[in-house]
Amino acid sequence: MSGLNPRGVWAIYRYELSRTVRTVWQSVATPVITTALYFVVFGGAIGSRIHEVGGVGYGAFIVPGLIMLSLLTQSISNASIGVYFPKFTGTIFDILSAPLSSLEVVAAYVGAAATKSVVIGLIILMTATLFVDVRIDHPLWMIAFLILTSVAFSLFGFIIGIWAKNFEQLAIIPALIVTPLTFLGGAFYSIDMLPPIWRAVSLFNPVVYLVSGFRWSFYGQGDVSVAASLGFTAAFIVVCLAVLTWIFRSGWRLKP
């Protein structure tokens, strides 16, 4: 097709956001309540034993990890469900035959999923301030990491939504891979607290780089360098875009 179709992109984007309004308890309230419970349990139980990590109170230290945990799962869930349902109902063919390029389709779905994830992340941040004093040393970088991470994992979720053939496959990667990697990626502790061999093993966990960069934007400290965090996030986005380019060109799991 020639030229851009901002009206078509906006239509899909607006429709996807409207689903959040219709399912507000599931889309917004549930992750916020769940994260608050994580905060109460980890902050109360473990925080009574570990008062500070790197000069930061433990309750405040885990805030970036809690936000990142919700950000990753919500980004994947929002994007995967967004594209899976049109496949499930057969309306995906209407979208593919519309005057929209593959880039515009991805931008609409991923943009809506990332927007919802960023909003939820900010709500969780505001909720956390009710429990502890949270400081943000680099607010612009915090927003940048928030957006980049949401976009990266929304792209990943979009790929999962295309790959999945049923609801079980839709949930298996976030539940069995992403969530455990987040728990083991320094969300609730610094990997510097681990023995040297386990710290070396942890560096192969990609979530470590996301949590570390995000925590640095809050407290000016992280387990790895900011450059490494940004580099991993950018590389992940490039890989996801390359995979999606191949999917739309080949029609893999999009066309009968």
Structural contact between residues 72 and 153, judged by C-beta atoms closer than 8 angstroms? yes
Q: How confident is the model at residue 1 (pLDDT cuts 50, 70, 90)?
A: very low
d(CA 115, CA 249): 27
The pLDDT of residue 256 is 61
d(CA 209, CA 202): 10
What are the structure tokens assigned to 179, written together?
């969530």
pLDDT averaged over every residue in the chain: 89
Return the closest-CA partner of residue 215 out of 70, 75, 56: 56
What are the structure tokens assigned to 59, written together?
């309750």
The pLDDT of residue 98 is 83
Question: Domain residues of the chain, as ranges?
Answer: 6-250
Alpha helix stretches (DSSP H) within 90-194: 92-97, 102-128, 139-163, 167-173, 179-183
Return the closest-CA partner of residue 186 out of 51, 36, 68: 68
Q: What is the DSSP letter of 192?
A: G
Residue range 44-98, pLDDT digits in tens? 677 667 778 888 988 889 999 999 998 999 999 999 999 998 988 888 878 878 8
The pLDDT of residue 50 is 73
3, pLDDT greater than 60: no
Residue range 147-185, pLDDT digits in tens? 999 999 999 999 999 999 998 899 898 888 998 999 899
The pLDDT of residue 111 is 96
DSSP string, 94-120: HHHHSS--HHHHHHHHHHHHHHHHHHH
d(CA 37, CA 69): 13
Confidence (pTM): 0.91
d(CA 163, CA 178): 16
Place of tokens 């612009």: 140
Q: How confident is the model at residue 246 (pLDDT cuts 50, 70, 90)?
A: very high
Distance from chain centroid for Cα 229: 15
Number of H helices, E strands in the chain: 13, 2
Q: What is the DSSP letter of 74?
A: H
The pLDDT of residue 143 is 97
Partners of 52 in the β-ladder: 57
